[in-house]
């Protein structure tokens, strides 16, 4: 489907949950494609007022002017929508979804479409975010949006591409229309599991890549970590029922190339600081953003162990971040493993 540069009128009400940089960017993109309002929910009252008064998210997306069709809201009781983009931190998705179900009766009366834009696994329930949403709203359509997309460049209309996964063809067609712009190209897939797994695992790999940078091990070491990490991700995705080819698409290889090579990546920068000798508590305290790779590493480690797949890089990140083992000792252990055929 080619983008023709015209607004499309959508009878459905569009809601974005989460007014961080990514959620705000999603709202901005969608607002360029629809004639009606786009609602942007945030738990921060002051931020809500600022967005509505000045059409700018000065906290998470500074200096980017927002479309006047974007209306920020703060109350879960007041939100409304048929198409709902979820862009909260992954560990908050379950809490927000079930609060909506409990407090807002409007969502009980209609067929909903949820688009998961967050990347992670629910650590407490040990489930993908699509499973969490399906359990709360059983008759809803589920889609996942993922790819190499830092929020700020995309909000500034710099070219990017992402993958949208859903099982329903009509849902896919509608969402592609909502999200496609001349600067934002959407590819489609049906592999919900593979795309979500990619989003989780690339964050763990980014921590490992960042550690090599912090230790000043050089570009050769980083390239080796990324290459072997992709192999681990492929084994993991196939092991849990995803498609191997998904790993080499935008949500996998594309996002890995971005996240594992840039200081703009929260997870890469987290690893860089670890490699530079900083303590985890200090890093997390000073950070304004959630580090999804750290939040998910324990569950990723346990799943990899369950499927009995060799995952030395996942194990190494787990040993460093959770078991607090010395970084240099873990690096040495990685390098001195038994030699094997590629």
Active site residues: 202
Same domain, 284 and 177: no
Same domain, 24 and 125: yes
Same domain, 249 and 326: yes
Considering all CA atoms of the chain, what is the largest pairwise distance in Å, rounded to the nearest integer?
61
pLDDT tens-digit readout, 267-309: 999 999 999 999 999 999 888 788 999 999 999 999 999 888 7
For residue 243, is pLDDT > 90? yes
340 part of a folded domain: no
Question: Pick from 144, 159, 190: which residue ends a domain?
Answer: 190
- CA dihedral of residues 107, 111, 113, 119 (deg, nearest 10): 50
120 part of a folded domain: yes
Strand 141-146 and strand 127-128: the pairing is unpaired
What is the Cα–Cα distance from 72 to 95, expressed in whole angstroms? 20
Q: Is residue 5 very low, low, confident or very high in pLDDT (cuts 50, 70, 90)?
A: low
What is the Cα–Cα distance from 247 to 321, expressed in whole angstroms? 25
Question: What pLDDT, on a 0 to 100 scale, did the predictor assign at position 3?
Answer: 47
Question: Pick from 160, 190, 220: which residue ends a domain?
Answer: 190
Q: What is the rounded average pLDDT of the residues 112-127?
A: 95
Q: Is residue 79 very low, low, confident or very high in pLDDT (cuts 50, 70, 90)?
A: confident
Lowest mean pLDDT across 198-207, 242-251, 282-291:
282-291
For residue 140, is pLDDT > 70? yes
What is the Cα–Cα distance from 260 to 205, expressed in whole angstroms? 7
For residue 2, is pLDDT > 70? no
Q: What is the rounded average pLDDT of the residues 73-101?
A: 92
Question: What pLDDT, on a 0 to 100 scale, did the predictor assign at position 6?
Answer: 59
Same domain, 62 and 160: yes
For residue 108, is pLDDT > 80? no
39 part of a folded domain: yes
Same domain, 21 and 168: yes
CA atoms within 13 A on the CB side of 176: 19
310 part of a folded domain: yes
What is the Cα–Cα distance from 81 to 176, expressed in whole angstroms? 18
Range of the domain at 294: 194-335
Same domain, 200 and 59: no
Q: What is the rounded average pLDDT of the residues 81-94?
A: 95
Q: What is the rounded average pLDDT of the residues 189-214?
A: 97
For residue 82, is pLDDT > 70? yes
148 part of a folded domain: yes
Number of domains in the chain: 2
What is the Cα–Cα distance from 314 to 302, expressed in whole angstroms? 10
CATH code (residue 221): 1.10.1040.10
What is the Cα–Cα distance from 2 to 126, expressed in whole angstroms? 39
Q: Which residue pairs, CB below 8 angstroms and at least 24 apart, start in 157-161?
A: 157/181, 157/183, 158/183, 159/183, 159/184, 159/185, 160/184, 160/185, 161/185, 161/186, 161/187, 161/250, 161/254
Q: What is the rounded average pLDDT of the residues 122-144?
A: 94
pLDDT tens-digit readout, 256-269: 999 999 999 999 99
Same domain, 177 and 313: no
For residue 8, is pLDDT > 70? no
Same domain, 199 and 185: no
Lowest mean pLDDT across 3-17, 159-173, 198-212:
3-17
Question: Pick from 163, 190, 217: which residue ends a domain?
Answer: 190
Nearest to 119 by CA among 154, 85, 145, 94: 145
Question: What pLDDT, on a 0 to 100 scale, did the predictor assign at position 102?
Answer: 87
Same domain, 274 and 242: yes
What is the Cα–Cα distance from 194 to 21, expressed in whole angstroms? 25
Same domain, 96 and 149: yes
Same domain, 97 and 240: no
CATH code (residue 130): 3.40.50.720
Q: Is 113 helix (H, G, I), strand (E, B) or coil?
A: strand
| Mean pLDDT, rounded, of the chain | 93
Lowest mean pLDDT across 10-19, 76-85, 104-113:
104-113
pLDDT tens-digit readout, 306-330: 888 789 999 999 999 999 999 999 9
49 part of a folded domain: yes
Which run of H or E residues covers position 125? none
Helix/strand/coil percent split, the chain, to 5: 50, 15, 35
Question: What pLDDT, on a 0 to 100 scale, did the predictor assign at position 326?
Answer: 96
Same domain, 215 and 262: yes
248 part of a folded domain: yes
9 part of a folded domain: no
Q: Is 161 helix (H, G, I), strand (E, B) or coil?
A: strand
Question: What pLDDT, on a 0 to 100 scale, did the predictor assign at position 286?
Answer: 86
* pTM of the complete model: 0.93
Q: Is residue 12 very low, low, confident or very high in pLDDT (cuts 50, 70, 90)?
A: confident
């Amino acid at each position: 489907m080619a983008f023709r540069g015209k607004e499309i009128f959508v009878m459905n009400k569009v809601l974005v949950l989460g007014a961080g940089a990514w959620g705000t960017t999603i709202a901005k993109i969608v607002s360029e494609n629809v004639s009606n309002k786009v609602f942007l929910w945030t738990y921060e009252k002051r931020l809500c007022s600022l967005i509505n008064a000045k059409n700018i998210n000065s906290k998470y997306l500074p200096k980017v002017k927002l479309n006047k069709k974007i209306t920020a809201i703060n109350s879960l009781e007041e939100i409304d929508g048929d198409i709902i983009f979820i862009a909260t931190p992954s560990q908050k998705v379950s809490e927000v979804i079930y609060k909506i179900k409990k407090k807002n009766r409007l969502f009980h009366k209609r067929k909903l479409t949820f688009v998961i834009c967050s990347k992670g696994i629910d650590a407490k329930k040990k489930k993908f975010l699509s499973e969490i949403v399906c359990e709360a709203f059983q008759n809803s359509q589920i889609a996942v949006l993922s790819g190499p997309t830092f929020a700020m460049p995309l909000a500034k209309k710099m070219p990017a591409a992402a993958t949208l996964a859903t099982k329903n063809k009509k849902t896919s067609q509608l969402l592609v229309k909502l999200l496609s712009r001349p600067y934002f190209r959407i590819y489609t897939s049906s592999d919900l599991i593979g795309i979500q797994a990619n989003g989780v695992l690339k964050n763990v790999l980014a921590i490992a890549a960042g550690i090599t940078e912090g230790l000043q091990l050089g570009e050769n070491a980083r390239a080796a970590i990324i290459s072997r990490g992709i192999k681990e991700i492929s084994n993991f995705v196939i092991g849990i029922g995803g498609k191997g080819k998904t790993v080499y698409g935008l949500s996998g290889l594309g996002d890995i190339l971005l996240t594992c090579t840039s200081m703009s990546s929260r997870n890469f920068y987290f690893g860089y600081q670890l490699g530079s000798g900083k303590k985890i508590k200090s890093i997390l305290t000073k950070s304004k953003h959630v580090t999804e790779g750290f939040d998910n590493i324990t569950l990723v480690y346990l799943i990899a162990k369950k499927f009995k797949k060799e995952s030395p890089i996942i194990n190494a990140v787990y040993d460093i971040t959770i078991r607090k083992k010395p970084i240099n000792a873990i690096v040495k252990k990685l390098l001195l493993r038994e030699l094997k055929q590629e």
